[in-house]
Structure 1
Amino acid sequence: MSACVHTRSQALGLIRAVGLRTTNPTRTKRTHPPHSPPPTPPRRLREIASADVSAAIAVFLIALPLSLGIALATGAPLQAGLVATAVGGLVAGRLGGCPLQVSGPAAGLTVVTADLIHQYGWRTTCAITVLAGLAQLGLGCLRVARSALAVSPAVVHGMLAGIGVTIAVAQLHIVLGGTPQSSVLDNALALPAQLAALHPGAVSTSALTVLVLLAWPRIPGHSGRAARKIPAALVAVATATAITSFAGLRLARVDLPSWSNHALPQLPEGPVLGIAAAVLTITLVAGVESLLSAVAVDKLTAARGGPPVPRSDLDRELRGQGLANIVSGALGGLPVTGVAVRSAANVQSGAVSRNSAMLHGVLVVVAALLMVPILDLIPLASLAALVMAVGIQMVSLHHIRTVTRHREVLVYAVTTLGVVFLGVLEGVALGVAVAVGVALNRLARTRITHKEKEGVHHVHVRGQLTFLAVPRLSRSLHLVPQGAHVVVEFDGSFMDHAAYESLQDWRTAHTKQGGTVELTGCRTGLRTSEPTASTECRCRPWTPWRNHQCDMPPGGRPGGGTTGQPEPGSAERLDGPRDTGAGISTDTNAEPTAAAAAAVRNSPVASARSSATPRPWYGVSWRGWRGRGSGRRSCSSPAPTHASSRR
C-alpha cells in the first residue's frame, strides 16, 4: 500500500511530465488584456507632439485670414470670426466625436448668417446661434446624427454650389471697390453700375491676391515643395498687405475695435415662426456640413495610413458642435461648423490627435490679443478676393460630373437655383422634394419590351414590377400569338401581388391554348420553368413575391445531393413542382382524375414531394407573404394550404 503513495515532490514531477506530454505545441496561450494601456515611450510622445504642433500651425495659418474674410462677407464684426475660430478649435476640438476635424466659421453658413444679420441684427443673430446649438445638442442626445447621411449628395452639393455663387457675386462688389447688396438679384443688377465706378486700387489688390493664390501651389522644384508648406491663402493676403502698405494705397482695411466694445447676444425680437425657421436653418446646415465633413475626414485618415486614429462618433460630434455653437453665440461669435478644407489640411499635415485642433484654437486666441496692429493693415479687397475664390471653388466641377454620371443633374440644378434665388432653407427643401420624386420615379419605372427572334417571343421586363406596370405588361403579353413559345425575362428585384396574379392568369390562359411559357431571371442560367421532378429539392427565399423555389440544374433533373447548396445555374420557379410520373399530368392546368389522384397519393415521388416541398398559395407562402424577415425556410416544413393560409 505504501508503494502506491507518492511524495509531494514526486507527485509534482509526475504532473509536470504529464502536462508536458499532453500540451499541444500549436495551441496559443490566452492572454488577458491589461487593466490599463502600456505607457507610451517618451520618443513616441515627442513624435506625436511634434506632428500635432506642425499641423496646428498649418491650420492656424489657413484659418486666420479665412475667419476674417467670412466675418466680412456676413457683415458681422470682424472679431466674431476670430471668436468662432477659437471656440471651434477649443470646444468642438475637445468635445467633438471626430478627433482630426477642425471646426470654425465656414463659407457654407455665410449666406444664412448674412440674411439673419440683415433681418434681425447682429446681437439677435448671436442668440439664434445659441438656440441652434441647443437644438444640435438635443439631436445629438437623441442619437439621430446618422439620419443626416440619408440626404442625397446631389442636394448637399447643390446647396454648397448655390452658397458659393451667392458668396462670389456679393464679394465681387468689394473686389471692385463697392458695397454688396442684400440679395443675389440686387447684386447682379447693380454690377453694371459698379463696373462703371470701380476702384483701381481695390481691383489691383484683389488681382494680386488671386494671382498669388493660383501661382503659389504651382511653384516647381524643391523650392516649390518647401514653399507649399506655407498656405497659399496666408501668402496671398500677406503679399497684398505688404505691397499696399509700402505703396501707401488708400484702401479700406480691417478695423478691429476694442474687445471691450464687443457685442454680446440679446434675447431674440421678432416673429416666433421667423426665429424658429432661422434656428432650424442653422441647425440643419451646420449639422449636415459637420457630419459630412467628419465622414470625409475618416476617409482621408484611412487613406493616409500612419498611426491609428479612432473613427468618428457622429452623435458625439453633433453634441460637440452644439456646445461650440452655444459658447460661440454667447461670446458674440459666428455659427460654428466642421470645415472640410481646414480638416483636410489638418490630416495632410500629419495630425494624429485632437490636440492639433485645440492648439490651433489657442494660436487664434493669441493672435487676436497680440496681433491686432498687424491685422489692421490687411486690405478688405484682399480678404474679399480670398472669400470670392473660396465661393467659386464651392461650385465643384467634380461634383457636377458625379451627379451627371448618376443622373441627378435635375436635383443638383434645382437645389442650386433654389438656394440662389429663394434662400438656403427653401432651396434645400425644394431639392429634397425633387430628390424624393426622382427616387420614386426610378422605383416605379418599368420598361417592358417585346421582340420575336427565330419564332420565339421574348418579353423583357426591366425594373420593379408593380400594379402600376400591369396595364403595360398585359398589353405586351397579349401581343404574343396563341400557341407560341414565350420567354419572359425579369430584370428587377420586386414584383407585387397584382403583377404576379396578372402574369399567372396570362400564363394559365396561354398554356391552355397550346403555348409554352418560360420565365427566366436576370442572372445567367437562372430559369423559372417547370422542373420534371421534385425530389431532393431545396427551397430558398429570393424576393417577397417568391419565397420558395427548388434549385434545379439546367438539364431539368434535380441534383442528387442532399447538401442543399444551390448549383451554379440552378433553376428557379414560380409554382410548386409537379411530377411527370405516377399519373401526374404535365399540363399545369389539367384537372387530375380520381385514379390519377389515388396514384399520386400512393406514389413514392408524391411522398417525397409532400415531405420536401411546401404547397404554394399563389406562389407565396404565408410566411413569405408577411415578409422576408424570418430568413430561409427549409422544405422539410411544409407551408400551410390555401385555406389555412387565409385563416
Structure 2
Amino acid sequence: MLSALKRPDTLRQDVLASLVVFLVALPLCVGVAVASGVPAELGLITGIVGGLVVGSLPGSTFQVSGPAAGLTVLVLEAVREFGLGMLGVLVLCTGLLQLALGLLRFGRWFRAISVSVVHGMLAGIGLVLVFGQLYTMAGVPQPRAGLDKLAGLPGLLGDVLDGGPPATACAVGAGTVAVLVLWPRLPARARLVPAPLAAVALATAVTWAAGLDLPHVQVRGLSGVIDLPELNDLASISGPLLGTAVTFALIASAETLFSAAAVDRMHDGPKTHYDRELLAQGVGNTLCGLLGALPMTAVIVRSSANVRAGARTRLSRVLHGGWLLVFVVALPAAVGIIPLPALAGVLVHAGCKLIPFGQFVPLWRRHRGELAILVTTAVGILATSMFEGVLFGILLAVVKCAWETSKVQVEVHELTDGRVLARLTGNATFLRLPRMMETLEALPKDRPVELDLTGLRHLDHACRTALENWAAGHHDAGTEPVLVREAVG
C-alpha cells in the first residue's frame, strides 16, 4: 500500500479503482441490509469496516469485503429467531470463530470442500433470494419458508396482473433488472458508470419524476443504529445461537476463500494467503459484531470490479471504505430516496448470478454425480435451511467419493489341478460388500477354493469379517477348507 503512495501512476489507478468499487458497493450494501430485515445503515457499516479495516490487512491484495447476498437468507432467519438486538453478538461470535480457524491454519482446508457443494450452496442461496425478493419487488410481504415462497408465486403473479400498487412496484423492479441485464451491452463510455448504480439511479429518477407512491429505504443515521453488545447479551448466548454462529463462520469463510481463488485467477499480482485472509475476515466480523452490523464476506462482484478497474495495491479497497464513510456522514438522506422495488431488482439480479447455469450442461454430460450433489444441495437449502442443505450436500459428496474409490474386482479362475482361484483387487469396503459376496457365494462348494487377497489396497473390518465367515462356512464336508492368502504386513 505504501508503494502506491510513492508512485503517482499507481496512486492514480488505485484511486480510480476505489471509486468504481464504491459505486458498485453502495447499492449492494443497502440492498443486502434491507433484504436481511435490518436497517440500511448496518449494511453500510459492514462495507466501511470491510474497506478501512479488512482492506488494510494482509491476506488478499485485491479482494473486497462487505455484506454479501450469500448470507442474506441466514441473517434474515437469525434476526427473526433471536431478534435484531442479538445480531451483534452473533456476528461477534462468528468473527471470533474465524480468528480461531485462522490461527489454527484451517484456511487451506476450506479448499477441500467439494466445488459442487459450493455451487449448490450458491444456487440455493440464489433461489431463496430471488423468490423472496420477487415479493419485495412487488411491494408484497414475503413468506418466511423457502417452499412457501415458491408456492406463493402464482398468487403473487395474480396480484401483479390485477394492477394497482403491486403492478407499479413490479414494473419499477423489473425495469431495474432490465437495466442490469442490458448495461454490459452498451458502449464502453456508458459502462464507465457501474450497472448497479445506474439501475438504482434510473429507477429512483423515474419514481420521483412520475410521482409514484412506493416504499423507500428508511434512514436514521449511524448514531441511531449502532448497538454495542452488552454483558447481558453475552450472558444470554445459547446453544442455538452458537450453532448459527458456526454456520455463519463456515459459510462466510468458504465463500471468502472460494472467492479468493476466483479473484486470483483474474490477475498476475500477489496471490491470496488463505490463513491470513481468514484472520482478516475474523477481525472484520469481530468489529462488525461490536458495532451490531451485518456479517461480512469477500464479495466476488466488488472484487472483480476492483481488478477490472486496474487496482494495483490494497489502497483501492481501503479508499472504497473511506468513500462509503464520507457518503454516509455527508449524504445520508440520499439513501432514503431509493425505492425498495429497485433494490429488490438489484438483488433478484444478484441472486440469478449466484446460480451456476453454465455448469449444468457440462456436468450432465461428464459428471452427473456432481450435478446431483449440486442440485440436492440447492433443493435442500430451499426446502429446509442453509445449514441443513449444505450438510446434506457435503454428506452426499462424501458418499459419492467413498463409492467411487471403493471399487473391488473379483476375478475367478479355473486352475488345472481342479482348484478355483478367486482373486480380489482394489478397495474392499462395506459399500461394495453385497456384490462381492454374491460372486463368492456362487463359487462351487465341492471343489477346493483359494481366496487371494494380496491385490487389495484396503480391506475394511466389515469386509474382513464377511470374508472370514464365508471362508469358514463355504466348503462342504470332505472338501478342503478355503485357503486365504493375504499380503505380508
Q: What is the TM-score normalised by the length of structure 1? A: 0.63
Letter aligned with residue 386 of structure 1: V
CA drift at 1:310: 2.2
SS of the residue corresponding to residue 178 of structure 1 reads: coil
User: Distance between the aligned counterparts of 1:270 and 1:496, measured in 2?
Assistant: 49
**Deviation per residue, 1:300-334 (Å, 9 max, x gap):** 223xxxxxx32211111111101100111212211
- The answer to whether the aligner puts 1:103 opposite 2:65 as a matched pair is yes
Q: CA deviation at 1:345?
A: 1.4
1:340 is matched with which residue? 300
Provide the C-alpha distance between the structure 2 equivalents of 1:241 and 1:289, rounded to a whole number of angstroms.
31
1:239 to 181, 185, 202: 202
Q: Which residue of 1 aligns with 2:244?
A: 278
The aligned counterpart of 1:355 is: 315
Kept in 1: contact 2:62–2:317 (CA 8 A): yes
SS of match in other structure, 1:464: strand
Indicate the residue corresponding to 1:249 in structure 2: 212
CA contact (8 A) 1:448 1:472 kept: no
Residue number in structure 1 paired with 2:173: 206
- Superposition deviation, residue 213 in structure 1: 0.9
Residue deviations 1:76-133 (CA, integer Å, cap 9, x gap): 1100110001101111111241111100000111111000111111120111101110
Which of residues 343, 366, 379 is equivalent to 2:326?
366
Check if 1:169 corresponds to 2:136: no
C-alpha distance in 2 between matches for 1:227 and 1:463: 64
Is residue 376 of structure 1 aligned with residue 336 of structure 2? yes
Looking at both structures, which has the greater relative contact order when contacts are Cα pairs under 8 Å and sequence separation is at least 6?
2
Query: Is 1:71 paired with 2:71?
Result: no
Aligned to 1:230: 193
How far the C-alpha of 1:193 sits from its partner, in A, is: 3.7
Unaligned runs of 5+ in 2: 161-165, 414-420, 449-453, 468-484
Q: Secondary structure at the match of 2:219?
A: coil
Q: Which amino acid aligns with 1:104?
A: G
Amino acid at match of 1:295: A
Pick which of 186-195 and 63-72 moved more.
186-195
Looking at structure 2, the residues matched to 268 and 121 of structure 1 have their Cα atoms a distance apart, in angstroms, of 14
Name the SS for the 2:52 alignment partner. Answer: helix
- 2:205 maps to a residue whose letter is A
Cα deviations by residue, 1:401-448 (Å, 9 ceiling, x for unpaired): 454433312221221121112111111111111111111111113466
TM-score (norm 2): 0.83
Which residue identity lines up with residue 65 of structure 2 in the other structure?
S
Residue pair 1:89, 1:360 contacting (<8 A) in 2 also: yes
Aligned in 2, Cα 1:472/1:388: closer, same or farther, shift over 3 Å? same
Aligned equivalents of 2:410, 2:288: Cα separation in 1: 58
Give deviations 1:153-210, integer Å, cap 9, x for gaps.
Answer: 1111111111111111111111112122222233234334433433232122112111
* Alpha-carbon distance change, 94 to 271 in structure 1, aligned in 2, over 3 angstroms: closer
Determine which of 251, 254, 259 is the counterpart of 1:293.
Answer: 259
The match for 1:48 is 10
Rounded to whole Å, the distance in 2 between the matches of 1:418 and 1:136 is: 25
Decide whether the 8 Å contact of 2:93 with 2:242 is kept in 1.
Answer: no
Which entry has the higher C-alpha Rg, 1 or 2?
1
Partner of 1:557: none
Counterpart amino acid of 2:178?
A: L
Give the distance between the partners of 2:98 and 2:191, measured in 1 at CA: 37
In structure 2, distance between residues paired with 1:269 and 1:73: 29
Report the aligned-residue RMSD: 3.3
Match of 2:392 among 419, 424, 430: 430
Q: Which position in structure 1 is the counterpart of 2:275?
A: 315
Q: Which amino acid aligns with 2:393?
A: G
Residue 230 of structure 1: CA displacement? 2.0
Distance in 1 of aligned mates of 2:239 and 2:362: 37
Give the number of the structure whose residues are more often helix, by fraction. Answer: 2
**1:151 partner amino acid:** I
Q: Work out the CA distance in 2 between the residues paired with 1:192 and 1:268.
A: 44
1:17-166 aligned within 5 A: 45-166=7-128
Q: CA deviation at 1:363?
A: 0.7
Distance 1:348 1:384 in 2: 26
Distance in 2 between the 1:324 and 1:99 partners? 16
Q: Secondary structure at the match of 1:131?
A: helix
Kindly, what percent of the aligned residue pairs are identical? 35
Give 2:137's aligned amino acid: V
Deviations 1:265-294 (A, max 9, x none): 431576721111111111111111111111
Distance between the aligned counterparts of 1:372 and 1:343, measured in 2?
A: 25
Structure 2 CA distance for aligned equivalents of residues 258 and 335 of structure 1: 19
Residues 4 and 10, structure 2, Cα contact 8 Å, conserved in 1 = no
Unpaired runs of at least 5, structure 1: 1-38, 303-308, 452-458, 483-489, 503-617, 626-647
User: Does the C-alpha gap of structure 1 residues 620 and 122 become closer, same or farther in structure 2, counting only changes over 3 Å?
Assistant: same
